[in-house]
């Protein structure tokens, strides 16, 4: 851009003026001192261009020469940040189930997500065996602690059904079944308010089971060609406290969840693990949100499109 400006012949930008580092979104400070060989530490680039008569030619004066001024120093700068997924195009969210951000980041939604889930799975449940889909019968002795997304209709439900848009009164079984098949049907972005609803919606659990069997893999023993791992992307919404616990909420980001079991009867439960990139790198690679813009809370899913932050 500088070189294309006819008033600045032979302008250039010195490489020293391009810095990579980390952007602190809360304090709005750029830190170039992080380990720049670590991709997890580098999420921003800062560019400063200066026409100062030193590294680059200063901007020549014209009328000011009558006042003894031959040139002017001009500078400009910008910082671009590749944050966490803050948007999802149609089809990029897999299931119409929303998770409360307080469950993943503490009471104020401000704690580190990976630290929170490392201290124990949200909504922990004891698993004595892998479920034969839909029956609840144990098939092996897997005792790994998991999270139980309990979709039984109770005043306080720890996971909410969503139609990805308002109002909540439109959320019904046919809509949810279609959304299990298609994912979100329109773009979602941080701060969008979406309707949430409680309820068992047993036929919808059946649809999730069918998709799990079709798209999941046999990752864990026993290796019996039965799906026991399916990585999905879910929307995270603002805190849902009190009763009812699913009313409506603003999207705060997107989280990566590995479905391990789907129990339609007798419970209405989806069992699985919330994933963290540092701990679950191989699985986490399946959670790219294509075309996502920066701006979501840090649940580990990087955006694909950076934004200018200053």
pLDDT for 241-300, tens place per residue? 665 678 889 999 999 999 999 988 888 899 999 999 888 988 998 999 999 999 999 999
* Nearest Cα residue to 199 out of 154, 242, 164, 244: 154
Q: Is 240 helix (H, G, I), strand (E, B) or coil?
A: coil
Cβ atoms < 10 Å from Cβ of 88: 29
What confidence tier does 143 reach under pLDDT thresholds 50, 70, 90?
low
Q: Please write the tens of the pLDDT for every residue from 95-132.
A: 999 999 999 998 888 899 999 888 889 999 876 454 54
What separation in angstroms does the CA of 58 have from each of 46, 66, 73, 77, 269?
22, 18, 6, 16, 67
Give the pair of three-digit tokens for residue 174. 């046919």
Give the pair of three-digit tokens for residue 218. 């046999």
Inter-residue contact 130 to 228 (CB < 8 Å): yes
Distance CA(98)–CA(203), nearest Å, equals 18
pTM for this predicted structure: 0.82
Q: Give the residue-averaged pLDDT of 140-163.
A: 80
Per-residue model confidence (pLDDT) at position 141: 46
* Nearest Cα residue to 164 out of 103, 237, 110: 237
């Amino acid at each position: 851009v500088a070189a294309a400006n006819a008033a600045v012949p032979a302008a250039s930008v010195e490489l020293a003026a391009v810095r990579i580092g980390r952007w602190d979104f809360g304090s709005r400070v750029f830190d170039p001192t992080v380990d720049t060989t670590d991709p997890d530490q580098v999420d921003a680039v800062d560019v400063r261009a200066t026409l100062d008569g030193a590294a680059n030619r200063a901007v020549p004066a014209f009328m000011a020469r009558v006042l003894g001024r031959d040139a002017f120093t001009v500078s400009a700068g910008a910082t671009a940040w590749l944050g966490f997924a803050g948007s999802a195009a149609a089809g990029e969210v897999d299931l119409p189930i929303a998770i409360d951000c307080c469950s993943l980041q503490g009471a104020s939604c401000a704690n580190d997500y990976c630290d929170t889930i490392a201290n124990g799975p949200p909504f922990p449940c004891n698993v004595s065996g892998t479920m034969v889909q839909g029956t609840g019968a144990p098939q092996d002795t897997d005792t790994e602690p998991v999270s139980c997304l309990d979709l039984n209709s109770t005043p306080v439900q720890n996971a909410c059904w969503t139609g990805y848009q308002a109002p909540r009164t439109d959320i019904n079984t046919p809509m949810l079944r279609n959304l299990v098949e298609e994912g979100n049907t329109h773009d979602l972005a941080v701060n969008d308010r979406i309707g949430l609803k409680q309820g068992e919606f047993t036929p919808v659990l059946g649809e999730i089971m069918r998709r799990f069997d079709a798209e999941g893999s046999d990752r864990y023993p026993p290796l019996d060609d039965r799906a026991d791992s399916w990585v999905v992307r879910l929307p995270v919404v603002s805190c849902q406290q009190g009763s009812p616990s699913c009313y409506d909420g603003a999207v705060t980001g997107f989280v990566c969840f590995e479905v391990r079991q789907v129990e339609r009867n007798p419970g209405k439960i989806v069992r699985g693990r919330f994933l963290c990139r540092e701990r679950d790198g191989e699985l986490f690679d399946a959670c790219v949100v294509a075309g996502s813009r920066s701006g979501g809370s840090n649940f580990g899913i990087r955006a694909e499109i950076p934004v200018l932050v200053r």
